Amino acid sequence: MSRVAFMLREALVNLRRNILVVTGAVLAVFISLGLAFSALAVNELVRINTIAWQQGVHLIVWLNDAGRDGVPADAHQNLLNEVMQWEEVANAYYVDKTAAYEEYLDLFGNNPEMIEALQNPSALPTSIRIELADIELYEQVEFRLQQYPQLINRISSAAQEIEQISAVSRVLNLLGIGLSIVLGVSAMILIANTIRLAIYARRDEVSIMKLVGASNWFIRVPFLLEGLIEGLVGAALAVFAVWVAGRNLAGAAEGIQLVNLQIPNAFFLRWGVVFLLFGAAAGVLGSLLGLSRYLREADGGRPAGVRRALEPV
């Protein structure tokens, strides 16, 4: 027990006494993990917005009035029933003339000229609004609808644009994930290297500890604890900084309706834990790598080839 307490005390005392080096290591963790976490957060924003754009009505089927030009009275309802059976369709609903007029008022309520121009509300066409199961299926659904030329006046679709946005966001997603991985790996190397340098500065200390009879683990544990603490503190700062930045961004963009800049707290919680573990692991790994050489050197290892050099002696 006294050894565990000693090693913990050692780690804390060393952190305090080597404050400059420790600050450097914490900053390295903070900056590199902050960048990686930011990339991941941006990626999350792209994902959220892509989903938002992909949801909603994808096709509007403008219909010819029933009971005129040979369109049977129940044709609208029959078409809606049929469309709803199609597996490409997630949802479909009918907008009659009354609903169309309400929608018109919603859209142009602030524009008296437009309201005045529409002298006869029944002139507005009825329509079927279709939400697709998969945005990429819009061409197939359009093709199937084209089988009803008598009933259908026109088909409006935002699907092509949405598909283009989806393609762009897929690329952005991949880039974001790739960037996060690259920054994550760089973070690991940078952290490990910074801690290795910190240990290099204290290599004499390690050799003295060995001389006094300290075992490798006795020397290692305080260094590992230091690395762990540095990694955790740096990662916690990075997560906190990105969370604060995310909050501010969402606050500043409240008026913008086109894009959603609100990253859910669940994301920060889930990935925050991952980044904390990553920072801790990088700190421990850096310490292990940094120490191994000096511990080996102090053990009186027999270099290979010396026996061969001795042969002529």
239 binds other proteins (CB under 8 A): no
| Contact call for residues 154 and 64 (beta carbons, < 8 A) | no
* Neighbouring-strand partners of residue 278: none
**How many angstroms separate the CA atoms of 288 and 282, rounded?**
10
Q: Is 258 in the site for other proteins (CB under 8 A)?
A: no
Contacting residue, 76, 196, 210, 220, with other proteins by CB under 8 A: 210
Closest separation in Å from C-beta 296 to other proteins: 8
**Residue of 76, 74, 81 lying closest to 64 (CA atoms):** 76
Under rule CB under 8 A, residue 20 binds other proteins: no
C-alpha 47/C-alpha 254 separation (Å) is 18
Neighbour count for residue 177 (Cβ, 10 Å): 13
Q: Which stretch binds other proteins (CB under 8 A): 45-53, 55-63, 173-181, 210-218?
A: 210-218
Q: Does the protein bind other proteins through residue 212 (CB under 8 A)?
A: yes
Residues 287-306 that bind other proteins (CB under 8 A): 298-303, 305-306
208 binds other proteins (CB under 8 A): yes
Between the alpha carbon of residue 176 and those of residues 24, 190, 277, the distances in Å are: 27, 20, 21
Please select the residue that binds other proteins; options are 12, 214, 245, 285, rule is CB under 8 A: 214
The stretches of the chain forming alpha helices (DSSP H) are 2-17, 19-54, 75-85, 97-108, 112-117, 138-145, 159-200, 203-211, 216-252, 265-297, 306-310
Min dist CB 221 to other proteins, Å, is 12
Cβ nearer to other proteins, comparing 52 with 208:
208
Q: Does 76 bind other proteins (CB under 8 A)?
A: no
Contact residues toward other proteins (CB under 8 A) are 2-3, 6, 13-14, 17-18, 204-205, 207-216, 218, 298-303, 305-307, 309-310, 313
